[in-house]
Chain A
Amino acid sequence: MKMEDLMGNPQSVRISRIIQETAMIKTLQFPFNTQVVSEPGQFLMIWVPDVDEIPMSISLQDNSSIALTVLPVGESTRQLCSLSAGDWIGIRGPFGSSFDVSCESALVIGGGVGMAPLRPLVYVLLRRNIEVILLIAAKTENELVFYDEFASLSSSHFTLEPATDDGTLGYKGLATDAAESLLANHDFDMIYTCGPELMMATLYKSSLKHRIPFQASLERFMKCGCGICGTCAMDPTGHLVCIDGPVFTGEQLSKFTDFGRYYRDVVGIKKAF
Chain B
Amino acid sequence: MDCLSINSANKCCQLAYYEAVFNFSQGDQLKIQGYWLASGILGVTASTMLRALDSGADAVVTKSISLAQRKGHQGPVLTISHGGLINAVGLTNPGIDAIEDEMKTLRKVRATVVLSVFADSPEQISSIVEKGSSMGPSAIELNLSCPHAEISQISHSSELTAKYVGVAKEATKLPVFAKLTPNASDYVKVGKAAQDAGADAIVAINTVRAMKIDIQQMRPVLGNIVGGLSGPPIFPIAVRCVYDLYNALSIPIIGVGGVCTWQDAVEMHLAGASAIQIGTAVMEDLTVFSKVKNGVKSYIKEKGYRDVTEIIGLAGGRKL
Query: Which A-chain residue is minimally distant from B41 (CB atoms)?
Result: A228
Query: B116 within 8 Å of A by Cβ?
Result: no
Chain A 225-243 per-residue mask, 1 if CB under 8 angstroms from chain B, else 0: 0111111011111101000
A257 to B47, CA, bound (A): 11
Q: Is B302 an interface residue (CB 8 A)?
A: no
Contact status A230-B71, CB under 8 Å: no
CB distance from B53 to the nearest CB of A (A): 10
Report the minimal beta-carbon distance from A3 to chain B, rounded to whole angstroms: 5
User: Is there contact, CB below 8 Å, between A3 and B217?
Assistant: no
Q: Write the chain A residue with the least CB distance to B79.
A: A10
Q: Is the CB of A235 within 8 A of B14?
A: yes
Q: A12-B214, A269-B3 are in contact. Are A240 and B48 (CB under 8 A)?
A: yes
Whether B3 lies near A51 (C-beta < 8 A) is: no
Within residues 71 to 97 of chain A, which ones have a CB less than 8 A from any CB in chain B? 88, 90
For residue B80, which residues in chain A have a CB less than 8 angstroms away from its CB? 3-4, 7, 10
Residues 8-48 of chain B: 1 if any A CB is under 8 Å from the residue's CB, otherwise 0?
00100110011000000000000000000000011111111
Instruction: Tell whether B316 is near chain A: CB-to-CB under 8 Å.
Output: no
Q: What's the count of A-B pairs with C-beta under 8 Å?
A: 150
Q: Roughly how many angstroms separate A267 CA and B99 CA in the complex, as a whole number?
A: 11
Bound Cα distance from A200 to B5, whole angstroms: 22
Q: Say yes or no: is A172 at the interface (Cβ < 8 Å to chain B).
A: no
Decide: A235 and B47 in contact? CB cutoff 8 A: yes
B75 contact from A3, A7, A54, A235, Cβ within 8 A: A54
Interface string of A246-273 (1 = CB under 8 A from B): 0000000001010001101011111110
B217 pairs with A90, CB closer than 8 A: yes
| Given A7-B85, A52-B223, A228-B283, CB of A233 within 8 Å of CB of B44 | yes
Question: A270 to nearest B CB, angstroms?
Answer: 5
B10 & A272 in contact (Cβ 8 Å cutoff): no
Q: Report yes or no: A227 in contact with B283, Cβ–Cβ below 8 A.
A: yes
- Decide: B51 and A47 in contact? CB cutoff 8 A: no
Q: Does B232 contact A (CB under 8 A)?
A: yes
A-contacting residues, B39-90, CB 8 Å: 41-51, 63, 69-72, 74-80, 83-85, 89
Also in contact, A230 and B219, with CB within 8 A (given A12-B214, A47-B76, A257-B13) = no
Determine the chain B residues whose CB is within 8 A of the CB of A228 once the complex forms: 41-42, 85, 279-280, 282-283
Taking a contact as CB atoms closer than 8 A, the residue among B42, B72, B85, B217 that contacts A88 in the complex is B217
B3 A272 Cβ-Cβ under 8 A = yes
Given A51-B74, A268-B93, A272-B5; A4-B83 close (CB under 8 Å): yes
Measured between C-beta atoms, what is the minimum distance from B23 to chain A in Å? 15
A266 cross-chain contacts in B, Cβ below 8 A: 71, 92
A151 within 8 A of B: no
- CB-defined contacts of B85 to chain A, threshold 8 Å: 3, 7, 228
Measured CA separation A238–B48 after assembly (Å): 4
Q: Cβ of B1 < 8 Å from any Cβ of A?
A: yes
Q: Count chain B CB atoms within 10 A of each CB in A3, A233, A255 and give the residue with the most.
A: A3
Q: Are B2 and A223 in contact (CB under 8 A)?
A: no
Check A267–B70 contact: CB distance below 8 A.
yes
Contacts of A51 in B (CB 8 A): 74-75
Q: Does B221 sit within 8 A of A, measured CB to CB? A: yes
Instruction: Tell me how far the C-beta of A15 lies from the nearest C-beta in chain B, rounded to whole angstroms.
Output: 13
Complex Cα–Cα for A204 and B6 (A): 21
What is the interface of chain B, defined by CB distance below 8 A to chain A? 1-3, 5-6, 10, 13-14, 17-18, 41-51, 63, 69-72, 74-80, 83-85, 89, 92-95, 98, 101, 214, 216-217, 219, 221, 223, 231-232, 279-280, 282-284
Q: Give 29 pairs: A residue, B residue, CB < 8 Å, sorted on A.
A: A1-B284, A3-B85, A10-B80, A11-B216, A47-B75, A52-B75, A53-B76, A88-B216, A223-B77, A223-B89, A228-B42, A228-B279, A230-B41, A230-B42, A233-B42, A236-B18, A236-B46, A237-B17, A238-B42, A257-B10, A261-B10, A262-B6, A266-B92, A267-B93, A267-B95, A269-B3, A269-B69, A271-B3, A272-B6
Q: Beyond A12-B214, A12-B216, A228-B41: 14 further Cβ-contacts under 8 Å?
A: A3-B83, A3-B283, A11-B216, A47-B221, A49-B217, A223-B89, A223-B92, A226-B283, A229-B42, A233-B44, A234-B47, A267-B71, A267-B72, A272-B6
